[in-house]
Amino acid sequence: MGTNQVFDFTIQANLSRSVPIGYEVTAIKLPINDVTPLEDNEVKLYLEKVIDPDTTYKEVMAPKAFIPSIAVSEIGSPIGSMVLDFGNITNTGATIYHYRLRMWINESTLIPSGETRKYGVKINVYAKQDVVATPVTEPESNPNILAIYQYNQNRESSTFCVTGEEETCQSLAPQATYREGTIIKYQVNDSEEKYFHVISDNGDTLMLQQRENTVYSTAWYADANDNTKGPLTVLEALENATSGWSNVLDQTYTMGTTIFKDNAFTGCSYDLTTNKFTCAVNTYTLESSTAKSRMISVQEAHNLGCLAYDNGVTNGTCPVWMYNYLINSTSNGGTVDEAGENEDNNGYLTMNANSNVSTHAWGIRGYGVMSTYHTGNTKIGGRAVVMINK
């Protein structure tokens, strides 16, 4: 819809007998692939309806941003859609309702000169017999989610936001699904608030990684030059540091059998020709563990874009949020080059051993790449991965 344009549509029912039919008018977002899409909070939708016997349109939904549902409605509107209006038809014979949809860019939206942005929705109507339509109430979101920000690592963008604390950060309403990297400010217990980034979203729970290292100067396994024992030192340090995070869920896993991403294998090698990890060896087995946090796996990190260090060729392949707050991060796109009291903050560790070198384990460096560390190296740390309800 262009300037001063509207989208007019009708819904019609023809009942042979008097049975209640509830209906919902919903919008669903259209995928935009050819240009950068506008975000939900950059667009407003407004719906009007002719109410018989009036001859003019009346507001049925005040201007608001698209808010995707996080559950299927009783009428049948799907997850990810937005219910714009609802009603019930009970009269026999023909019933026709006329609607008019308007959509425009929020006045606070900034689009860089010379760039194009798009946003589109499709209107659907869902109806169900013998079901009375009522206002759609979204399930309450986790009250410990204090804020949600749209992650954007483009420094020149009007929505640049990699830490959640830039003035340009745009806040988001609760979403049906969250993009990887989305910034979540979370109340981990009664007295502590932390920033996290979304690793994955299964629809009901979020897997998050803390914005900064949780523990510093901590080895993968400090007692021996041996990665077959597993990350005993850093896991214990993480578990101790996060044991008081009462508002995050317990995670129960067994190294070598629990699937964190693509498989459960604990040893990984890297092919410099294909730039792919092969995780096909169980190099250690630990007993089942239940804790508030763990570390990211190689499979998860690789899925987010991380490649292994190759003579400097693959610097910065991880998204900025994964290596911000590490030494050397600012030279590779980060905004915080954390040194000082955390002078040995060169990186953080993963769950996985290097299956080719028995004395090394995989981690993330301040250069924004995957690399291996000696299991006894204490110039690194651990970054908590936690799970929360949405």
Report the chain's mean pLDDT, rounded to a whole number.
Answer: 89
Ordered by start, the domain boundaries in the chain are 7-129, 145-208, 213-389
Note the pLDDT of residue 293. Answer: 97
Residue 139 has a pLDDT of 57
pLDDT at residue 102, rounded to an integer? 93
| Cα–Cα distance, 329 to 213 (Å, whole number) | 13
Model confidence band, residue 309 (pLDDT cutoffs 50, 70, 90): confident
pLDDT at residue 200 is higher than 80:
yes
Peptide bond into 53 cis (omega under 30): yes
pTM over 0.75: no
Q: What is the pLDDT of residues 57-109, one digit of tens each?
A: 889 998 988 888 877 888 999 988 999 999 888 888 888 899 999 998 887 78
For residues 334 and 366, give the distance between their C-alpha atoms in angstroms, rounded to a whole number. 9
**What is the predicted pLDDT for the residue at 340?**
67
CATH number for the domain running over 7-129: 2.60.120
Q: Considering only 257-266, 315-324, 347-356, which range has the smallest mean pLDDT? A: 257-266
Would the pLDDT of 130 be above 90?
Answer: no
Once rounded to an integer, what is the mean pLDDT over residues 139-167? 89
Q: For position 92, what pLDDT does the model report?
A: 83
What was the pLDDT predicted at 192?
Answer: 96
The pLDDT tens digits of the residues spanning 1-14 come to: 555 578 999 998 88
pLDDT of residue 1: 52
